[in-house]
Structure 1
């Protein structure tokens, strides 16, 4: 029983880690190539998106 749950968690955490990594890389790229004001807006959007993805993943489990 617990093993199954553990495996499910691992499977659903893998894409999450990948998404976080991609998000960080994108964030750095955007950070280097945009002016301050735009950077702040995009940063906010990325944080919101990350939060939504996280809560979506948690609700799926």
Structure 2
């Protein structure tokens, strides 16, 4: 995973690991992002509702 910290946003790019299910990879990346979001909380205004939507979509796949 590659994390880009921009002045007004955070961008996360990731790839699928061969042999790993896409759903598991998405959940791993979301878990990683939530940990990073915890550290960035004082520097960025993070909308948790968007993270919840990402998590819901990943679980639904």
TM-score by length of 1: 0.51
Greater share of strand: 2
For the aligned residue pairs, the C-alpha RMSD in angstroms reads 2.5
Which residue pairs with 2:56 in the alignment? 51
Which residue pairs with 1:14 in the alignment? 21
How far the C-alpha of 1:34 sits from its partner, in A, is 2.1
Q: Which has the higher contact order (CA 8 A, sep 6+)?
A: 1
The structure number with the bigger radius of gyration is 1
SS of structure 2 residue aligned to 1:38 = coil
Q: Which runs of 5+ in 2 are unaligned?
A: 1-19
Residue 29 (1) aligns with residue 39 (2): no
Which portions of structure 1, spanning 4 or more consecutive aligned residues, are displaced by more than 4 angstroms? none
Q: Which runs of 5+ in 1 are unaligned?
A: 1-12
TM-score by length of 2: 0.51
Cα deviation digits, residues 5-58 of structure 1 (max 9, x gap) = xxxxxxxx81111111111111111110122x824x1x2211111112322x2x
Greater share of helix: 1
